[in-house]
Amino acid sequence: PQSTACMAGFYSKYRSKDIEVVSVAVDAQGSGKVQPYLDLAGATFVTLIDESNLLSSIFGFKAVPN
């Protein structure tokens, strides 16, 4: 959750400057596994959950195991 917390801090700092943060969680286990990390970090930005690795394949994201 350290990277999520970092993104939450970035979003808090810059949201008034018309910057939109959108994160992608690559997790085949779905929102049940992702949401606790977002809650812990206090994330208020949009997070897409890529359960089928579609966005990962298109954009070359690398999943980092936790």
**11 against 31, higher pLDDT:** 31
58 — pLDDT class (breaks 50, 70, 90): very high
Strand pairing class (46-49; 22-25): parallel
Per-position DSSP letters for 16-50, written without gaps between them: GGT---EEEE--TT-HHHHHHHHHHHT--SEEEE-
Let me know if 55 is exposed, middle or buried by CB neighbors in 10 A (0-12, 13-18, 19+): middle
65 — pLDDT class (breaks 50, 70, 90): low
* H or E stretch covering 13: helix 2-14
**The pLDDT of residue 32:** 92
15 — pLDDT class (breaks 50, 70, 90): confident
